[in-house]
Amino acid sequence: MQWKTICFDLDNTLFSHEEAFEKAICYCFEQLQQKWLEKNVIENQLDLSTWFNSFKRYSDIYWKKFETKKVDAKTYRRLRYHDTMKEFALPYTDEEADAFHAHYYDIVDTFSEPYEGLFELMSVLQQSGIIVGIITNGTADTQYRKVEKIGLASFISNDQIFISEELGVAKPSRKIFDIALQKLGETKEKLFIGDSWEHDICGAIDAGWDAIYLNTRDKPSATNHQPLATCQKLTEVLNVLRDDQSMKG
């Protein structure tokens, strides 16, 4: 392989955050329904996937408002909670919405499962003597916990993980890529792999890295940046890395 250093994004690149989100939200709602049944607030359990589809729909609607800073994080969570409960004629208050989300954040990481092919990929990189790292936007304790939960701790130690909260700078800023490279060792042969076009692909390419777009959520590219390759699944990445000479030639 031509690269000396390969770094990865974390969420939706090495594991499915979407899947963990669905499982954890459904688990919290199941517990809530149990409580309501005992208190005779409801008579029957609702179908989980029907309820979740609605919760997901409101999450997507209000996420846009949160992203454009029209509402803050707490309001965003209350709005998606309230509108979902309203739709099913279930009770809701701000306090209940906050408690529901506190529960969710407590447990969501325990639902993270590695993507298929992750360990094979890491083993191959390790055997090839390639330096690996993770560059991720998020809070430190959550991101370290996810790395541990998906079983990456034996491949990537904490000093190879670069988290925006700890560094005070986030992707797509060039700075976080520079810091990672400085810590891992300067090299011209560096590759970044991630699922966010803006944060991972634009960020890495603008910082002078090669990039592979791991488009796990089927999102279109929004700029003219040129990644080395686009993959839909992590299992495809290893093939691209093995073929890199022919690709470049």
* DSSP summary character for residue 47: P
Tell me if 210 sits within 8 A of 3, measured CB to CB.
yes
Between residues 11 and 22, which has the closer beta carbon with respect to Mg ion?
A: 11
Interface of this chain with Mg ion, residues 19 to 48, rule: CB under 5 A: none
11 phi/psi in degrees, rounded to 5? -65, 130
Strand runs (DSSP E) across 5-130, as ranges?
5-8
Residue 40 structure tokens = 């005779």
Q: Write down the residue that tokens 């529960």 correspond to.
A: 103
Interface of this chain with Mg ion, residues 186 to 245, rule: CB under 5 A: 195-196
Binding flags for Mg ion, 178-197, as an x/- string (CB under 5 A): -----------------xx-
Q: Please, what is the end-to-end C-alpha distance for the chain in angstroms?
A: 13
Between residues 164 and 196, which has the closer beta carbon with respect to Mg ion?
A: 196
Instruction: Count the site residues for Mg ion by CB under 5 A.
Output: 5
Q: How far is the CB of 194 from Mg ion (least distance, A)?
A: 6
Tell me: cis bond preceding 227? Omega within 30 of 0 counts: no
Between residues 54 and 164, which has the closer beta carbon with respect to Mg ion?
A: 164
Q: How far is the CB of 90 from Mg ion (least distance, A)?
A: 32
Among the residue ranges 1-9, 26-34, 40-48, 166-174, the one whose residues contact Mg ion (CB under 5 A):
1-9
The residue from 3, 6, 9, 97 that contacts Mg ion (CB under 5 A) is: 9
Query: Should residue 11 be labelled a site residue for Mg ion when binding is judged by CB under 5 A?
Result: yes
Burial bucket for residue 30 (CB in 10 Å: 0-12, 13-18, 19+): middle
The C-alpha atoms of residue 43 and residue 97 are separated, in whole angstroms, by: 21
Residues forming contacts to Mg ion in the complex (CB under 5 A) are 9, 11-12, 195-196
